[in-house]
Amino acid sequence: MAKLSLFDRRTRRVRTALKARAGGKPRLSVHRTGKHIYAQIIDDAQGKTLAAANSLGDKGANVDAAVKVGKDIAAAAKKAGVTTVVFDRGGFLFHGRVKALADAAREGGLEF
């Protein structure tokens, strides 16, 4: 098996711990790039995406864009009938844009 990067190891560690305590709840997965930030709510039991939001229409991927994506994903989750999720930060640290997205999603009504 090829050696995994530190990011991939951290991603696997986070996701394994999440699945152990998810208890059938959908997963709010966050992906961040230099230009954009993406969020989706995934039902792992069915293997389907229930809701998604991203910053593709906006200029830049700053904290303000992350807050908007957090509010959008919370609204999309309500529309899909999801109220509680587990937060999957992937290999990203819970800081800056990822934290801003999570806080905005909580303010929007998601529980995690």
Per-residue pLDDT reduced to its tens digit, 42-52? 999 999 999 99
pTM assigned to the model: 0.92
Per residue in 3-37, pLDDT (tens digit) is 999 999 999 999 999 989 898 899 999 999 999 99
User: What's the Cα-to-Cα distance from 69 to each of 48, 82, 112, rounded to whole Å?
Assistant: 20, 16, 16
Is residue 70 assigned to a domain?
Answer: yes
Is residue 43 assigned to a domain?
Answer: yes
Percentage of the chain lying above the pLDDT 70 cut: 100
> What type of residue is 100?
A
Are the C-beta atoms of residues 67 and 100 closer than 8 Å to each other? yes
Is residue 51 assigned to a domain?
Answer: yes
Q: Which domain holds residue 30?
A: 25-107
Is residue 6 assigned to a domain?
Answer: no
Is residue 30 assigned to a domain?
Answer: yes
Are the C-beta atoms of residues 91 and 8 closer than 8 Å to each other? yes
Domains held by the chain: number? 1
Are the C-beta atoms of residues 81 and 53 closer than 8 Å to each other? no
> Which CATH number covers residue 57?
3.30.420.100
Is residue 56 assigned to a domain?
Answer: yes
